[in-house]
Amino acid sequence: MKIPMLAYILTAALTFILSAGSAQAGPNSFRFVAESDRLPPDINPPDTDTLDVDFADVDSDGDLDIYVADGTASAAPRPNKLYVNDGDGNFTDETFTRLPGSPPANSTEVDFADVDGDGDVDAIVANLGPEQLLLNDGNGFFSDASTTHLPPPLGFFDDISAEARFADVDGDGDPDLLVANENPFNPAPLGGAQNRIWINDGTGHFMDETAARFPARTDQTQGHVSGDLDQDGDLDLIVVNIGQDFVLINDGTGHFTDETASRFSPSADSTRKGVLADFDGDGCLDLFMGNSRNQQNRLYFNDCGGAFVDGTTGNVPERADTTTDVDVVDPDDDGDWDLYLTNAGDFLVGHGFLGDQSVYLRNNGHGKFQDKTGVHFPQVSAPSTNAEFGDVDGDGDLDLLIGNSTSIGGAETLYIHQRCPGQGWNCQ
């Protein structure tokens, strides 16, 4: 499950206190070991790409289950999957008993929240087509409520979504929906479509209030990142685009104003994923942008008023990647936020992505990152598309699930977090 940004901040503070007062192992004394035999065998055709993986306790038994959103380079639909955890980190494929029919197009993203206030987690699935809302019966069995609870589809060019994400933008205590539309087929310059904002009425029914709440513009948007950028108590937005990214400031009621010109620098990057976290320890949310098309990833520091300064040079390793996902995580328990980046490698026409090493960047506590991948992770150059951290085996630390492009490199990979009595990757 995606963790809200406030939870990230509170967790960071708690982690720092605990690590300062305990005899936990040092920052080098852990490693991730592949244990994908805990996952069910993949039965999809070899051209299937895992486009998103997410953890959520769908059956309310206290452990993390897995939802896998699948697609193909040809946009031919593939069934999404639901893996149920036995409590010890071993998973069974229960897709056909727990999920309704798959969406009519590729799925690109899944997110979980309790949309109807009944105490369990429901799901929104973003597609290259209309979104799918799945309501949980409390035991992990889902029904498709898309036609009754979501606004009607707008048509092919307006429903090609890269992401749908929950966020309480109007501050009324229930999760609303932000839909990032990309539509690369639009004949306008750079393509694009209008992003959507759907407001929850508190019962899980969503109203399209885009015209009243969002600036009108068409972009190839890859996602929205929500957080209180200007420290006024509401959720603002970073709009992650192919091309210029945007800063939208919330007035406190869920109505947004484009303040990019005064808060963000011009950019032509092909950004795939953005994350917010306090990387330099000043109490304000900074921004990391994962860029694709062999471009340098970028780090922006917040001045604590919601304006961002590019701090990439000297703080982020120089490398040209096709970054597909960025996760904020603290696997070394030192109280600051590190980064894990999945990479797909170069694109080869007819074969998808060639693959590249995903990267773990360790923070020194002040927003300066070092590549420590080889110390803590095996060297695997799979075409990875996304990653998610969660404690799958109930031992109190975060394990790692990676989704891959199977056209070259295989299906999902599960890495188990192991503490080591010594230092470094080779500790026994």
For residue range 46-65, list pLDDT tens digits in order: 677 788 999 999 999 999 99
Query: Residue 261 is which amino acid?
Result: A
Please name the helix (run of DSSP H) or strand (run of DSSP E) that holds residue 97, with its range, or none.
Answer: helix 95-98
Q: What average pLDDT does this structure show over 367-389? A: 88
Please report, to the nearest 10 degrees, the dihedral formed by the alpha carbons of residues 38, 42, 47, 50 taken in order: -50
* The pLDDT of residue 220 is above 60: yes
Widest distance between CA atoms in the chain: 60
Q: Is residue 425 part of a domain?
A: no
Give the rounded percent of residues in the chain with a pLDDT score beyond 90.
61
Q: Is residue 428 part of a domain?
A: no
In the numeric block, the tokens 């120089």 are attached to 318
* The pLDDT of residue 238 is above 80: yes
Confidence class for position 353, pLDDT limits 50, 70, 90: low
Cβ(98)–Cβ(58) below 8 Å = yes
Question: Which pairing describes strands 65-72 and 81-85: parallel, antiparallel, or unpaired?
Answer: antiparallel
* The pLDDT of residue 347 is above 80: no
CATH value at residue 108: 2.130.10.130
Highest mean pLDDT range out of 74-83, 155-164, 226-235, 400-409?
A: 226-235
The closest of 161, 138, 139, 137 to 150, measured between CA atoms, is 161
Cβ(197)–Cβ(216) below 8 Å = no
* The pLDDT of residue 406 is above 90: no
Q: Is residue 424 part of a domain?
A: no
**Residues 6 or more apart whose Cβ sits within 8 Å of residue 155:** none
Query: Residue 193 is which amino acid?
Result: A
Look at 303 and 183; give whichever has higher pLDDT.
303
Q: What average pLDDT does this structure show over 182-200? A: 75
In the numeric block, the tokens 């808060």 are attached to 263
Q: Where are the beta strands (DSSP E) in 114-201?
A: 122-127, 129-136, 142-144, 161-167, 176-181, 196-200
Q: Is residue 251 part of a domain?
A: yes
Cβ(254)–Cβ(198) below 8 Å = no
Q: Is residue 427 part of a domain?
A: no
Look at 196 and 79; give whichever has higher pLDDT.
196
In this prediction, residue 159 carries a pLDDT of 67
Q: Is residue 11 part of a domain?
A: yes
* The pLDDT of residue 339 is above 90: yes
In this prediction, residue 188 carries a pLDDT of 53
Integer angstrom CA distances of residue 294 from 77, 297, 319, 342:
28, 9, 8, 13
In the numeric block, the tokens 């701090």 are attached to 311
Look at 207 and 354; give whichever has higher pLDDT.
207
Token pair belonging to 421:
């009595």
In this prediction, residue 129 carries a pLDDT of 81
The closest of 111, 53, 52, 45 to 78, measured between CA atoms, is 45
Q: Quick check: helix, strand or coil at residue 363?
A: strand
Confidence class for position 9, pLDDT limits 50, 70, 90: very low
Boundaries of domain holding 54: 5-419
Q: Is residue 426 part of a domain?
A: no
Q: What is the mean pLDDT of the chain?
A: 86
In this prediction, residue 50 carries a pLDDT of 84
Confidence class for position 74, pLDDT limits 50, 70, 90: low
Confidence class for position 27, pLDDT limits 50, 70, 90: low
The answer to which of 78-82, 307-311, 420-424 has the lowest mean pLDDT is 420-424
In this prediction, residue 268 carries a pLDDT of 82
As for how many domains the chain has, the answer is 1
In this prediction, residue 10 carries a pLDDT of 38
Q: Is residue 40 part of a domain?
A: yes
Look at 377 and 401; give whichever has higher pLDDT.
401
* The pLDDT of residue 3 is above 90: no
Token pair belonging to 120:
């369990």
In this prediction, residue 344 carries a pLDDT of 73
Q: Where are the beta strands (DSSP E) in 182-220?
A: 196-200, 206-208
Cβ(108)–Cβ(162) below 8 Å = yes
* The pLDDT of residue 2 is above 60: no
* The pLDDT of residue 426 is above 60: no
Task: List the strands of the sheet with 48-56, edge to edge.
Answer: 48-56, 65-72, 81-85, 91-93
Q: What average pLDDT does this structure show over 12-37? A: 58
Confidence class for position 300, pLDDT limits 50, 70, 90: very high
* The pLDDT of residue 77 is above 90: no
